[in-house]
Chain A
């Protein structure tokens, strides 16, 4: 695999509260280019919130996020970015950070291929023809070559999730975020989607994967982050986490495995 030791994403002292409820409590994590990081932990521990902070769908109230040493939270004087211009510039970041959601969020009024080409046309400013060409190629890659003109209501959950993956990948992002992307799938469809992610992991793209599929996490991830109550309890290689002496990690793993 093409993992490097070049730090790519840096999360520094990140905190987020909803009202008085501290959902992320001083998170620090560095992810290297090409690394696959699995985030595990009990429900409500803040995994999704952490992922959403990375493309600023959720705004943290303190701390910093850097991509390739460029801070997306603080300006050169150390002040927090805000305002309309900043909002606009986030589009640039988001087009480099693909995200796939638990409940697919495919656009129901667009066909599979229209779902995939939208970003290419509107974000990458491609012509309709070249966007379509790429969109078809991406759909073929995820095994939907024969469904390009279907509307989502004619697709299975697994197929919708493939559309969502193709839609994110079409923009050739440098980072992919997966948030429990198999959790709303029928059991027989889970394997296929995990296979898709596994294949992607081998291409050297940087990935953060929130998952309840422990077997998958331990197989595919270079490192595993265990979260509980808004804190990172432990970070380690799959072996380190498997043999962890940390009581909370052990309790979680023994309950779930």
Chain B
């Protein structure tokens, strides 16, 4: 190759492959755990938002507004450094990252879930009540399964966002894909190669998640036409 540097040097990337993959695994772990927590929390907040108890509605509304309104960067700093200073809660970097992503995504998902629940035809609810089912059973057996089907695509999108957003955990030193790429890039003076490689890994993850969501959606849509 002579002494002119080629456009894309593979060697360093290939020899650091295990580090990159480990970083990728950390990123996927953080995003997946955060999304799982966000689904549970988001559902609770959505239910509070739809509650007849005013105080629940207000808390849920404030939660949603707050976590959708604050930039991820700021939220992360608050959770990691802020909590330690203010109330002496010292979270490890990875835990702080997961909590931050979970809170942010719960804010978005709560709105997704709320509109999914509200999208269910009131005739469905009335048919359940008319059978003598309690409101709780109507919710669990009739509303929730149908709402779930509606929110599969936006839930998938949220997961994709979480995967990409996890890159920002690098600022607090979580050894995820972005952080590892940064360090390798500096070590080998090859930012272009390493960041491209990281980008490709994120892309692969996103494509796989999208395909998974499509499959899930298809499975639930097979028998789902409203009446």
Question: Which A residues form the contact surface with B (CB < 8 A)?
Answer: 55, 57, 87-88, 91-99, 101, 103-109, 111, 118-119, 122-123, 151-154, 160, 164, 167-168, 171
- Contact assessment for B225 and A153 in the assembled complex, using a CB-CB cutoff below 8 Å: yes
Q: Are A91 and B223 in contact (CB under 8 A)?
A: no
Separation of A118 and B130 alpha carbons in the complex (Å): 12
Asked whether B227 lies within 8 Å of A106 as measured between CB atoms, the reply is yes
Within 8 A of A (CB), among B113-139: 121, 123-124, 126-135, 137
B128 contact set on A, CB distance < 8 A: 107
In Å, the complex CA distance between A191 and B126 comes to 26
Interface residues of B in 170-199 (CB under 8 A from A): none
Beta-carbon contact of B123 and A101 below 8 Å: yes
In contact, B141 and A92 (Cβ under 8 angstroms): no
How many chain B residues touch A (CB < 8 A): the figure is: 25
- CB pair A103–B225 under 8 Å, yes or no, is no
Which residue from chain B places its CB closest to the CB of A124 in the assembled complex?
Answer: B132
Residues in A with CB closer than 8 Å to B222 are: 151
Q: Are A57 and B126 in contact (CB under 8 A)?
A: yes
Q: Which residues of B contact A153 (CB under 8 A)?
A: 223-225
B76 to chain A minimum Cβ distance, whole angstroms, is: 39
Contacts of B225 in A (CB 8 A): 108, 152-153
By beta carbon, the residue of chain B nearest A93 is B132
Among B124, B126, B131, chain A packs the most CB atoms within 10 A around the CB of B131
Known: A101-B127, A105-B126, A122-B141. A91 touches B227 (CB 8 A): no
Tell me the bound Cα distance from A55 to B142 in angstroms. 19
A122-B129 contact in complex given A108-B146, A153-B225, C-beta closer than 8 Å: no
Q: Which residue of B lies closest to A155 (CB)?
A: B227
Known: A107-B142, A108-B146, A109-B224. A119 touches B131 (CB 8 A): yes
Q: Do A88 and B134 have beta carbons less than 8 Å apart?
A: yes
Check if B145 is an interface residue, CB within 8 A of chain A: yes
In Å, the complex CA distance between A106 and B124 comes to 7
Contacting pair A105 B131 (CB below 8 A): no
Task: Choose among A57, A118, A119, A122 the residue with the greatest number of B CB atoms under 10 Å from its CB.
Answer: A122
Whether the pair B132, A91 counts as a contact (CB closer than 8 A) is yes
Query: For residues 78 through 133 of chain B, which have their beta carbon under 8 Å from a beta carbon of chain A?
Result: 121, 123-124, 126-133
Contact among A99, A103, A106 with B130 in the assembled complex (CB-CB below 8 Å): A99
Minimum CB distance partner of B138 in chain A: A122
Which among B126, B130, B132, B145 is the interface contact of A109 at CB below 8 angstroms?
A: B145
Instruction: Write the nearest CB–CB distance from B223 to chain A, whole angstroms.
Output: 3
- Choose among B126, B132, B149 the residue with the greatest number of A CB atoms under 10 Å from its CB: B132
Q: Quick one: closest B residue to A104, CB to CB? A: B227
Q: In the complex, what distance in Å separates the CA atom of A37 from the CA atom of B149?
A: 41
- Other than the given A106-B227, A107-B127, A109-B149, 17 more pairs (CB < 8 A) read A91-B129, A91-B132, A92-B132, A97-B130, A99-B130, A105-B121, A105-B126, A108-B223, A109-B145, A109-B223, A118-B141, A122-B141, A151-B222, A153-B223, A153-B225, A168-B131, A171-B132
Cα distance A164–B131 in the bound complex, in angstroms: 11
Report Cα–Cα, A123/B138, bound state, in Å. Answer: 11
12 cross-chain CB contacts under 8 A = A57-B126, A57-B130, A87-B135, A91-B133, A92-B132, A94-B129, A103-B227, A107-B124, A108-B223, A122-B137, A123-B133, A171-B132
* Contact (Cβ within 8 A) A94 B131: yes
Complex Cα gap A86–B178 (Å): 58
B226 within 8 A of A: yes
**Which residues of A are found within 8 Å of B129, using beta-carbon distances?**
57, 91, 94
Contact A105 B132, beta carbon cutoff 8 Å: no
Contacts of A151 in B (CB 8 A): 222-223
Cα–Cα distance between A154 and B135 once the two chains are bound (Å):
28
Whether A171 pairs with B227 at a CB distance below 8 angstroms is: no
Contacts of B121 in A (CB 8 A): 105
> Would A123 and B132 count as touching, CB distance under 8 A?
yes
Knowing A118-B141, A122-B137, say if A152 contacts B126 (CB, 8 Å): no
Bound: A103/B227 CA distance, A:
8
